[in-house]
Amino acid sequence: GESVGLHLPTLSVQEGDNSIINCAYSNSASDYFIWYKQESGKGPQFIIDIRSNMDKRQGQRVTVLLNKTVKHLSLQIAATQPGDSAVYFCAETRGGKLIFGQGTELSVKP
Amino acid sequence: KAGVTQTPRYLIKTRGQQVTLSCSPISGHRSVSWYQQTPGQGLQFLFEYFSETQRNKGNFPGRFSGRQFSNSRSEMNVSTLELGDSALYLCASSLAGRVAEKLFFGSGTQLSVL
Residue of A46, A89, A80 lying closest to A61 (CA atoms) = A80
| Chain segment B11-48, per-residue pLDDT in tens | 999 999 999 999 999 999 999 999 999 887 889 999 99
Q: Is the pLDDT of residue A78 over 50?
A: yes
What pLDDT, on a 0 to 100 scale, did the predictor assign at position B111? 98
**Amino acid code (one letter) for A80:** T
Residue of A34, A41, A44, A43 lying closest to A4 (CA atoms) = A34
Residues of chain A with C-beta less than 8 angstroms from the C-beta of B43: 3, 44, 89, 91, 100, 103
Residue of B66, B106, B22, B102 lying closest to A34 (CA atoms) = B102
> What CA–CA distance (Å, rounded) separates A81 from A38?
15
What pLDDT, on a 0 to 100 scale, did the predictor assign at position A90? 94
What pLDDT, on a 0 to 100 scale, did the predictor assign at position A7? 43
| Chain segment B40-87, per-residue pLDDT in tens | 788 999 999 999 999 989 999 999 999 999 999 999 999 999 999 999
> What CA–CA distance (Å, rounded) separates B74 from B25?
8
Of B42, B100, B108, the CB nearest to A100: B42
> What CA–CA distance (Å, rounded) separates A68 from A32?
12
Q: Is the pLDDT of residue A73 over 50?
A: yes
Cβ atoms of residues B35 and B43 within 8 Å: yes
> What CA–CA distance (Å, rounded) separates A84 from A108?
7
Q: Is the pLDDT of residue A103 over 60?
A: yes
What pLDDT, on a 0 to 100 scale, did the predictor assign at position A2? 46
Among A32-36, A94-98, B62-66, B103-107, the range scoring the smallest mean pLDDT is A94-98
pLDDT band for position B102 (cuts 50, 70, 90): confident
Question: Read out DSSP for A77-106?
Answer: ESS--GGG-EEEEEEEEETTEEEEB--EEE
Question: Which residues 47-66 in chain B show a CB within 8 A of chain A?
Answer: 48, 55-56, 58-59
Residues of chain A with C-beta less than 8 angstroms from the C-beta of B53: none
Cβ atoms of residues A38 and A87 within 8 Å: yes
Q: Is the pLDDT of residue A35 over 60?
A: yes
Average pLDDT score, chain A: 90
For residue A44, the chain B residue with the least C-alpha distance is B105
Sorted by sequence, the CB contacts under 8 Å of residue B62 that are 6+ apart come out as none
Mean local confidence (pLDDT), A8-23: 91
Burial-class residue A48 by CB neighbours within 10 Å (0-12, 13-18, 19+). Answer: middle
Cβ atoms of residues A76 and A59 within 8 Å: no
Cβ atoms of residues A12 and A74 within 8 Å: no
Cβ-defined contact of B41 to A42 (cutoff 8 Å): no
What pLDDT, on a 0 to 100 scale, did the predictor assign at position A6? 41
Residue of A107, A109, A106 lying closest to A35 (CA atoms) = A106
Cβ atoms of residues B59 and B81 within 8 Å: no
Cβ atoms of residues B43 and B29 within 8 Å: no
